Amino acid sequence: MTVLPAATSVEIKSMGCDDSAVLRERGQREVFCGLAPIVWLHRKIQDAFFLVVGSRTCAHLIQSAAGVMIFAEPRFATAIIEERDLAGRADANAELDRIVTRLLERRPDIRMLFLVGSCPSEVIKLDLDLAADRLMRTVGTGVRIVHFSGSGLETTFSQGEDACLTALVPHLPAAEAGAGRSLLVVGSLAEVVEGQLQRLLEGLGIERVRFFPPRNSDDLPPVGPDTVILLAHPFLATTARALESRGATRVSAPFPLGAEGTTLWLKAAADAFGVAPERFEAVTAPAAARAKMALERYREELSGKTIFFFPDSQIEIPLARFLSRELGMTLAEVGTPYLNRQLIAPELALLPSGTRLSEGQDLERQLDRCRADHPDLVVCGLGLANPFEAEGIATKWSIELLFTPIQGYDQAGDLAELFARPLVRRSRLVELAPCN
């Protein structure tokens, strides 16, 4: 059969950003806190319940972020701290015990309870680690109670998932010695994506593949010195460190977005497991070709267009790499809330050199830069999107990128379509004045 050129040999001339050009800013930030990922995590781990210990603001945030979904049977709630809880910590702990007891009585199907810290619980120094241990002993028979912080003080949006998974790492069983090497894919992925990646990895001959987090809390994957971890998302730095501290080895790779990203990601796994290049080609080439074909449809729409990323979830850099290399978009600025040099290095090496990167945010100044750039498309949160549209600037709202299956070969076209859609829509609404 024809062997397609290996994706690792792609042209990398004029590519590569080191981090010297990163603009670091602090100031007003228009981002979610780490509580927001509860909106997808509670669906991912199906027997888990997320109890936020916080204020009415926290409850309101999750409710607003979850939109209509809150009307289904939600597996999350907020223990709202009230004036009387602020009097003393002991009292707050007793209240927490009462609420958890009530909750577990009411929901006997829950096998894992996350106590999620918030800004208020952290400022009053409510020790939820201690509370989790105590509750496991007192009320939680058969229920694993785990604490992590999703507060805005400590976490930005997707870092909430990082904190959640990090807290779970100590609960993972130890891998049996001599069981052989296994691959652990880390990060919440859509079911359809998980299935596709599993098939590809198995096709490569990597037999022992597990995903973390699992769909059920009693199915926690084992970890140990024979575990190879591959991150599915760039925002999982502390989870990776925690897994490494249990002996696992992380394999560095770009993230599985687009045809190229997916190939490089799979290649990293293949290399770690000594998969022969021929086999790698045979397994991945048809899917990669299919992905490229799907992308072709959107290339015409997106090629040459300028895009500006506001910081949101840390997936901005991999997305920018995908959009510039596979769809020919021009990068104005790529903002990220947090830039982990180690994890993102393979991505930076693929960005056009000289790309303006920014870490953190000073909202008003970034808005000024954005307007001065006149980008064709702005990736930003819902607080900014409509105001930009009203100014005549096309936007792609960023949360959708966390709520849509976008990883892997067979989602590459869908991912491109997410960026093409706002532009197509604008070109369709010909009879409308720009704004009214």
Partner 1 sequence: MQLTLWTYEGPSHIGAIRVAAAMTGVHFVLHAPQGDSYADLLFTMIERGQKRPPVTYTSFQGRELASNTSELFKTAARDAIERYKPQALLVGSSCTAELIQDDTGGLARAMNLPIPVVPVELSAFMRKENWGANETFYQLVRALAGPNVPAPGTPRPPRAPGQRPRCNLLGATSLGFRHRDDVTEITRLLDRIGIDVNVAAPLGASPADLARLGDADFNVVLYPEVASAAAEWLKRSFGQPAVTTVPLGIGATIDFIKEVAALAGIDPAPALATLPSRLPWYSRSVDSNYLTGKRVFVFGDATHAVGAARVAVKELGFTVVGLGTYSREQARDVREAAKLYGVEALITDDYLEVEAKVAEAQPDLVLGTQMERHVAKRLGVPCAVISAPVHVQDFPARYAPQLGFEGANVLFDTWIHPLMMGLEEHLLTMFRHDFEFHEEAAPSHLGRGAAQAAERPADPVAVAAAPAVAPDTSGSTSAPATGDIVPVWTADAEKELLKVPFFVRGKARRNTERFARERGLAQITVEALYDAKANVGR
- Element housing 227 (H / E): strand 227-231
Please select the residue that binds partner 1; options are 3, 10, 21, 123, rule is CB under 8 A: 123
CA-CA distance, 189 to 287, in Å (whole number)? 19
State the amino acid at position 9 in one-letter form: S
In this structure, what token pair is assigned to residue 19? 């981090």
Residue 159 near partner 1 by CB under 8 A: no
> What sections of 19-88 are H helices per DSSP?
38-44, 56-66
Candidate list 154, 244, 373, 414; residue touching partner 1; CB under 8 A: 154
Instruction: Confirm whether residue 435 is marked as ligand binding.
Output: no
Q: What secondary structure letter does DSSP report for 252?
A: P
Report the alpha-carbon distance of residue 372 to residue 37 in Å, rounded. Answer: 33
Q: Which residues pair with 358 in a beta bridge?
A: 23, 335
Q: What minimum distance in Å lies between the beta carbon of 189 and partner 1?
A: 25
Q: Would you count residue 238 as binding partner 1 (CB under 8 A)?
A: no
**Site size for partner 1 (CB under 8 A):** 66
User: Within a 13 Å sphere around the CA of 157, how many CA atoms are in the beta-carbon half?
Assistant: 23
- Residue 125, sorted as left (phi over 0), alpha (psi -120 to 50) or beta, turns out to be left
Query: Among 44, 45, 78, 266, which residue interacts with partner 1 (rule: CB under 8 A)?
Result: 78
Does 105 bind partner 1 (CB under 8 A)? Our answer is yes
Tell me whether residue 33 is annotated as binding. Answer: yes
**431 near partner 1, rule: CB under 8 A:** no
* Contacting range for partner 1; rule: CB under 8 A; set: 102-110, 189-197, 340-348, 405-413: 102-110
Phi-psi region of 45 (alpha: psi -120 to 50; beta: other; left: phi over 0): beta
Q: Which is nearer to partner 1, 117 or 318 (CB)?
A: 117
Beta bridge partners, 308, equal 333, 378
The reply on whether position 312 binds partner 1 by CB under 8 A is: no
Continuous H helices in 86-127? 89-106, 119-123
Q: Which stretch binds partner 1 (CB under 8 A): 93-101, 134-142, 192-200, 246-254?
A: 93-101
Known binding residue 164? Answer is: no
What's the closest the beta carbon of residue 266 comes to partner 1, in angstroms? Answer: 35
Using the contact rule CB under 8 A, the part of the chain among 10-18, 34-42, 134-142, 172-180 near partner 1 is: 34-42
Is 138 a binding residue for partner 1 by CB under 8 A? The answer is: no
Pairwise CA distance, residues 76 & 229, whole Å: 29
> How far from 86 is each of 95, 121, 244, 248, 273, CA to CA, in Å?
11, 10, 39, 42, 54
Q: Which is nearer to partner 1, 25 or 373 (CB)?
A: 25
Contact flag: residue 151 with partner 1 (CB under 8 A) = yes
DSSP conformational letter for 407? B
- Which residues are documented as binding site for [4Fe-4S] cluster? 33, 58, 119
Sites of contact with partner 1 (CB under 8 A): 27-36, 53, 55-57, 59-61, 63-65, 67-68, 70-71, 73-74, 77-83, 85-86, 92, 95-96, 98-99, 102-103, 105-107, 119-120, 122-124, 151-154, 156, 364, 381-387, 389-390, 435
